[in-house]
Amino acid sequence: METIVKTKWNLDTAHSEIGFKVKHMMISTVTGHFEDFNATVTTESDDFSNADFDFVASVGSINTKNADRDNHLKSNDFFSAETYPEMTFKSTSFDGEKMTGDLTIRDVTKSIELDVDFNGIAVDPYGQTKAGFEMNATLNRKDFGLTWSAVTEAGSVVVADTVKLVVALQFIKQ
C-alpha cells in the first residue's frame, strides 16, 4: 500500500499581504489590507494541485491608512470586529489556476472563486524552500452582511458593493 506524503507549508508573513480595493463615491479607489493574518497549505505534490489552503485574518487589523475609516469598518456597519473577530477561507478545490473555497465573514459563508498565479518554488539564501502565489477575486460585500450604504447629495454611492481581493502569499516548506 502506497503511503501518501503530505507536505505542510507555513506562511512567510514578511513576504505576504492580504489586500482589497473598493470604489469610493465612484470616483476613486480605496485600498486597504489586513495587518494580522495567517495561512497554511497542505499538499501532496510540488505543483500544488488539489492542495488545501487555509487562511484566517483578524478583521480588527484592517488598515486603510485612515483611522476614522478603519474604525467605521470595524464597527457593526461593516465587519463588526468585536462580535466576529475573524475572517476565514478554506479551499475546496485548486487546479493550479482557479481556486474555489469557502469565505466566512460575519458568520456568513459563501463559496468564492479566485484567479491564481502560482509563481513557482525557489530556495532562499538560507536554504528554505518557498512557494509564491498571487490571487485575485471579486465579490459583493453585501453577500457577507456588509450592507452599510450611503448616497452623496449628487446621488453617488459612497461605498461600492463590489470589492476586489488582491492577495500575495509566500509559503515556507516545513
Domains in the chain: boundaries: 7-173
Please report the pLDDT score of residue 154 as a whole number. 65
Q: Could you tell me which residues are beta bridge partners of residue 112?
A: 101
pLDDT per position as a tens digit, 101-117: 999 999 999 999 999 99
50 conformational bin, left if phi > 0, alpha if psi -120 to 50, beta if neither:
left
pLDDT per position as a tens digit, 27-41: 789 999 999 999 999
* Whole-number Å distance between alpha carbons of 20 and 165: 4
Please report the pLDDT score of residue 89 as a whole number. 98
Among 38-42, 116-120, 134-138, 157-161, where is mean pLDDT lowest?
A: 157-161
* Whole-number Å distance between alpha carbons of 36 and 43: 24
Fold of 7-173: Lipocalin (2.40.128)
**45: how many CB neighbours lie within 10 A of its CB?**
11
